[in-house]
Structure 1
Amino acid sequence: MSKKTLVELDPWLAPHEGVISAREAYVSSTIMKVLSGKSPAKFALGFHHFGLHQTAAGWTFREWAPNATHVVMVGEFSDWQEREEFTLQPDAHGEWSVDLPKDALHHSQKYKLRVYWPGGDGWRLPSYATYVIQDDDSVDFSAVVWRPDEPYQWQYDIPPAPRVPLIYEAHVGMSSEEEKVASFNEFTANILPRIKQAGYNTIQLMAIAEHPYYGSFGYHVSNFFAVSSRFGTPDDFKRLVDAAHGLGLRVIIDIVHAHAAKNEVEGLGNFAGDPTQYFKAHDHPAWDSRLFDYGKPEVLHFLASNCRWWLDEYHVDGFRFDGVTSMLYHDHGLGKSFTSYDDYFGDDVDKDALVYLRLANDVIHAVRPDATTIAEEMSGLPGLAALTEYGGLGFDYRLQMGTPDLWIKTLKEKRDEDWDLGGLAHTLSSHRPEEKVITYAESHDQALVGDKTLIFRLIDKAMYWNMDKADPNLTVERGIALHKLIRLLTTGLHGGGYLNFMGNEFGHPEWIDFPREGNNWSFKHARRQWNLRDNGFLKYQWLGEFDAALMKIIRQIDDPNIHHLTVRQSDHMVSFMHGDFFFVINFSPNKSHSDYEAPAEAGSYKLALSSDDKNFGGQERIDHNSRFFTSPADNNHNLKVYLPARTGIILQKVD
């Protein structure tokens, strides 16, 4: 693809060309100034300088604390007393450091910093701490010297980036059937094989960086370089990533650089008596968290280094950047509908956030050209997922956040026969010309307590009593049929990739509710009931089998463009070509079509998938041995198919 500007890619941006050019000049010049002649990859090596390191002579520890007046390492090695030999000395640019002999520290020892500043002092954890554990019988956390005698030895090569990311969004802690916090090792042994068998090729792991409050879902991070100790050790996480690679699965993680936990003792909230060392003077109005100040070069260095740390140290394959909309706008996009291009080009856009997001993508793709970056972004900012050489911010994909809201709105407000199929098809297939998107019907957001998953909206309380395969029930039959069709339409119209949250592929019956005071600290809803999918007697198996069969087809469709999209509202029919596959879906609750004609690419076709198969809970009314041939019609070619009510099929073009 030849180099094009954003305006050439989207002529509707022409009235804003001046703003676009000015922003590009600001972003490019600021990055050049910040890099100071270094490459993006070398700039992001802050973890080689700061934090605790072994050297030929012993140990070196460095910290950035420009407002501090005195800093001491205190830990098990000093009987938790402040000692002269562990006192840091001030260096240039607000840095502090200390050199220690070899026998001063040992693997697994706990430690903290005692930081003094004008008018106060307090316990703090190092900003580059790589392992942090909660003290026994206490809410306090300590950093840990993590230098095992035998470093982890990687076993498997990193799989290549898939043409179509099929993302399995997962949370390690709630992945067990037991009412507890599951571990990295349990996830490796029990869940990785499930994801492989389900047909997904990418795992998106939530809550990997350390976060004090379990119920935050990992979005209130306190220690950005530390893998969450509640799930296991750093080596346990390496083993998980390595095993996933051995199965051919890529691993991306949620990275939270939009904000940070307000915690001060174990976090960055007030590191050395200056709450603005890392952050803006005001907090996030909706999230009760601190907002990074992207205008500070030191903050850009910290965050960019954090991106590289996870790539280098843990071999992760990319990131889903959380809360990007909040980063982009000074008002965080709260209460805005973004219905006009003018919304993207006013003074509300944070130009320093643009700098950081471009820099982060430059770093990530310089270190790992095959890495995948996804922006959780709902405003649709032009250029977000465009190549940086086009003037974009460089994300590989944008998360298409409007689609699950549309499905929920449809289920809540409309009868089956009144679904706006044209609106659904348009929204699901639409994306900006310069970007690829990850489409999804529901994620963890729709499963949280206070909301409902799609299957629960469709079936409701019948899920508790009528899910045995031997139990005929019209409510459940409708729900299962529509659950399959929703996924068929959503995946079929994807604009780059697809995402599913752990358990939703088989219609996990209940919501997510982490242990908290309001539920008496119960883990009942912070787990996954895999036995429902596995025991062979329940209808959940049908949904799981259908989803796995669907993934085998979707992984073959790497063309982001849809062809021959046809919606016939009166017939409740949607059909389209995507790659070499022809999708036809009948959403009617009661009307079957015996000879339904729809435009398709000329050729012959075979049946690739039918939602009506018995092993998917259907009635087996579609013949798998039939061949389908197009016939000329006006300036097009048509395919003729038989399609029962609430049924969808995929035909594959064979010649």
Structure 2
Amino acid sequence: MNKEKFIKEFFEGTSMDAYLYFGAHVMKSKTVFRTYAPNASGVNIFGDFNGWIEEPMVRDEHGIWQYESGKAKEGHLYKYVIYGQNGYRMEHADPYAFGAELRPGSASRITDPTKYKFNDEKWMKERTDCLDKPLSIYEMHAGAFRRNPKDEENGWYNYRELAPLVIDHAKKTGFDHIEVMPLCEYPFDGSWGYQLTGFFAPTCRYGSPEDLKFFVDECHKAGIGVIMDFVPVHFAVDDFALKNYDSTPLYEYYPQGQGSMWGTCLFNHARAEVSSFLMSCAEYWLKEYHFDGLRTDAVSLLIYNGGDKDKGENGAGMHFIRTLNTLIKKKHPSVMLFAEDSSAWEGGVTGKPEEGGLGFDYKWNMGWMYDGLYYMSLSPQQRISEYHKLTFSMWYFYNERFILSLSHDEVVGGRGTILGKIPGSEEERFAQLRAYYTYMLMHPGKKLQFMGNEVGELTEWNEGREVEFELLERPLNKGLYDLICELNSLYAGNKAFYSGEYEPGQFEWLHCEQDGRALYVMKRNDASGSFAAVLNFGDAASEGFEIRAVKAQKEDDEKSPEGNTEEKKAGSGKSRKKQNRIKEENWKLILDTGWKKFGGNIDKKNETHKTKAGILSINIGAFEAKIYKIE
């Protein structure tokens, strides 16, 4: 590493490789430790290698403290002891440590992150940002997807043990990417990894760094991408971590004397050293672990101070994320960048940074989620007056590249499950959910489902239990699961559901009129084949529902674009005669959520409708959705 170049970039806030300098680095004959603590009056180190007796580190002119030891070996635990203002003494974990001990321990572990050799060259060479490909994401918590009966204390599987379980489920259900909730080290299980202390250390709950790399490698070899949640906005308040690291708020700031809405410390993105720390963190997970994307948490706090529009824009936060996204895409063009953003900021979250945007590839469509789940929580009668809750999202859809997300946030915090939000008897609730998932397929935008949504869970999620796969023994739950598999298969196998979806014209409403019914007709267009869905969110069947499927188009009588040559010579000056022509269509039923295989009571049968004068008539049952292939 060119130290002079690194120091310059580090203090400019543009370093992407600070982890190669800071932290504990194992060499042939020694281990070198470095930490940045410019306001400390002294920094000592102790650990397994010296009997936990404090030894001094040496400070350079930049506030970087260094220590070398021939006794410190891989696997040893260590801490920094930092002295500072007003008698300050605190034992800190290494901010750049590549490993950590399991909670409640807080020491860092000497780890060599370079030992594992990946075997995913083909995947890495061929992967893309999926803009013109299907993208169906399965969001999961690594410790709560499946519980390990052999681990009586915690119920955790090792990353290596988890890999075949996750891959098998993704393959069966048709999800092409996994999104794991944060895997950086964290002390409190109930934070699900969003209150971090070890930004470069994969949590040892599920194994070693090599084990995690094995997990990603195996997913790639199976054709499944892996996305990780990235948390560059805030960090845990634990004293052993980043808080008041050198006896001063080196990493954090406190607007109005307070932390974040979660009671955590907010990163001070105005400090160049903090930006370099976080940018290097992102690069570390992408380069060293081969993650295919980062889902950035709490982007609204990067856009607005405290996430509150009334407090004004967060200039430092936006500068940080623009710079980070620009550098990532320059180094890793095929990596996907997702924004979990609940704001309505109009500057372009997925817009180009050079044009004022933030540079993300995709933004979670929180409005679509809120409106849709609110609509589904209403009675069939109330849905009539709130009809356009399901159509409003298309008014702004083309403003960003949106992803449709039904994430963990929708099934925690007293919100219940997706199924539990829906009124009616058990059979009616499942029928409505099947129709809703069909609506999700037909709506433009990439897709994300949190684990458990596919089996129709009955109890709110928590990190202490696994997905309730035993529910698949029940016909209604198994039917919902089979529908998810079928929808994902349709999505992946037909370009109409993803190709060009962020351009107007690929999607259209064939019926979205507030006419006293909860009926909708959606169409996805593509030259390779188009599809339409008829959806009924009402509790009454509709017989002979007429759909204007084909619009009349004006065409010239004469096929030649030149018209009649003799007429032109005669100089008649008359325009050619036009006539309205309709190209009739055949609609072939390919999926009905009322079929018995999905938990309904309808026998599967062939059904084809032919338009007459561009209109067709369809019978649709209560809480039913039908998908047709247009021929």
CA deviation vs aligned residue, 1:134-162 (integer Å, no higher than 9, x gap): 26xxx231111123895344356336233
Output the CA distance in 2 between the equivalents of 1:297 and 1:37.
9
Q: Secondary structure at the match of 2:475?
A: coil
Q: Max radius of gyration: which structure?
A: 2
Cross-structure match for 1:564: 509
Task: Name the CA shift for 1:436/1:57 in 2 (closer, same or farther; >3 Å).
Answer: same
For 1:485, the aligned partner's letter is A
Paired residue secondary structure (2:398): coil
Question: In the alignment, which of 39, 43, 63 is matched to residue 35 of structure 2?
Answer: 63
Do the aligned partners of 2:26 and 2:74 also contact (CA within 8 Å) in 1? Answer: no
- Assess, with a 3 A threshold, how the Cα gap between structure 1 residues 35 and 47 changes in structure 2: closer, same or farther: closer
The equivalent residue for 1:573 is: 519
- Match of 2:572? none
Preserved contact between residue 425 and residue 493 of structure 1 (Cα < 8 Å): no
**1:539 aligns to what?**
476
Kept in 1: contact 2:260–2:306 (CA 8 A): no
What's the counterpart of residue 205 of structure 2?
Answer: 230
Q: Which runs of 4+ in 1 moved over 6 A?
A: 34-38
> Take 2:360 and 2:113, find their aligned partners in 1: how far apart are those partners?
36
Question: What code does the residue aligned with 2:358 have?
Answer: L
Which amino acid in the other structure matches residue 589 of structure 1? D
Change (3 A) 1:421 1:553: farther
The alpha carbon displacement at 1:71 in A equals 1.7
8 Å contact from structure 2 (residues 510, 547) kept in 1: no
Q: 1:251: how far off? A: 0.7
> Does the 8 A contact of 1:431 with 1:437 survive in 2?
no
Aligned-pair CA distance for 1:420: 4.5
Are 1:130 and 2:98 counterparts? yes
The 1-side partners of 2:356 and 2:486 are apart by 39
CA distance, structure 2, for counterparts of residue 595 and residue 273 of structure 1: 71
Query: How far has the Cα of 1:416 moved from its partner?
Result: 4.8
1:618 counterpart (571, 581, 600): 600
Residue 182 to residue 276, structure 1, CA distance change in 2 (3 Å): same
State the Cα deviation string for residues 555-581 of structure 1 (Å, max 9, x = none): 341223421342243232101212322
Cα shift readout 1:338-369 (whole Å, capped 9, x = no counterpart): xxxxx5xx761011111011012112212211
1:644 is matched with which residue?
621
TM-score between the two structures when normalised by the length of structure 1: 0.81
Cα deviation for residue 41 of structure 1 reads 12
Q: CA RMSD in A?
A: 2.7
Which residues of 2 match residues 66-465 of structure 1 at below 5 A? 66-83=38-55, 87-101=56-70, 104-118=71-85, 119-134=87-102, 139-147=104-112, 151-155=116-120, 157-158=123-124, 160-161=127-128, 162=130, 163-177=133-147, 180-183=154-157, 184-265=159-240, 267-280=241-254, 282-333=257-308, 348-382=312-346, 383-416=348-381, 418-420=383-385, 422-431=387-396, 433-440=398-405, 442-458=406-422
Segments of structure 2 that go 5 or more residues without pairing to the other structure are: 1-5, 552-582
The answer on whether the counterparts of 2:586 and 2:630 sit within 8 Å (CA) in structure 1 is yes
After superposition, the Cα gap between the structure-2 partners of 1:313 and 1:456, relative to the gap in structure 1 and judged at 3 Å, is same
Match 1:552 to one of 489, 494, 499: 489
TM-score w.r.t. length of structure 2:
0.84
Look up the equivalent residue of 2:76 and give its one-letter code: Q
Deviation at 1:513, TM superposition (A): 3.2
- Which consecutive unaligned segments of at least 5 residues does structure 1 have? 1-33, 334-342, 460-473, 515-522
The aligned length equals: 568
Given the alignment of the two structures, is residue 629 of structure 1 paired with residue 610 of structure 2, yes or no? yes
Secondary structure in structure 1 of the residue aligned to 2:396: coil
Alignment counterpart, residue 590 of structure 2, candidates 608, 614, 625: 608
CA 1:197–1:622 in structure 2 vs 1: closer, same or farther (change >3 Å)?
A: closer
User: Could you tell me whether the CA contact under 8 Å between 1:421 and 1:572 is conserved in 2?
Assistant: no
Residues 137 and 447 in structure 2, CA contact (< 8 A), matched pair in contact too: yes
Is 1:598–1:640's contact at 8 Å kept on the other side of the alignment?
no
Classify the secondary structure of the residue corresponding to 2:101.
strand
Compared with structure 1, are the counterparts of its residues 476 and 248 closer, same or farther at alpha carbon in structure 2 (3 Å cutoff)?
Answer: same
